[in-house]
Amino acid sequence: MHQKSAAEMEQFLTEEENKLLVDCVFSGTYGTLDNRVRKKLDLMQKDGAEISAATKAKYIFRRIIPDMEYYKTWVPFVYKHKILIPFYLVYRFFERDI
């Protein structure tokens, strides 16, 4: 039986399928932090262009101060008692990974 080379196999995949395959093969079991950040930035950069400084700044801001959906999903007590958000941000900064 003839084994196909990588170049022969590549011709059967579309560019999108090839990108997905590379992501799956090199991401590890749960993915990598680099891939997670890159995908998040790609989603935030709506026009599909190169990631801008404004998009990076927005990402950093959202990592420091999450949106309300974060609180609703991960910290429902704080979501219910919104007055606690500033205190939670201080706690999160010192006790948890941002």
Check whether 49 has a pLDDT greater than 70: yes
* Mean pLDDT of the chain, nearest integer: 84
Instruction: State residue 88's pLDDT score.
Output: 95
More confident residue, 26 or 42: 42
pTM of the model: 0.62
Instruction: State residue 36's pLDDT score.
Output: 83
Instruction: State residue 89's pLDDT score.
Output: 93
Exposure string of 55-91, with b = 16+ CB inside 10 Å and e = fewer, is beeebeeeeeebeeeebeeebeebbeeeeeeeebeee
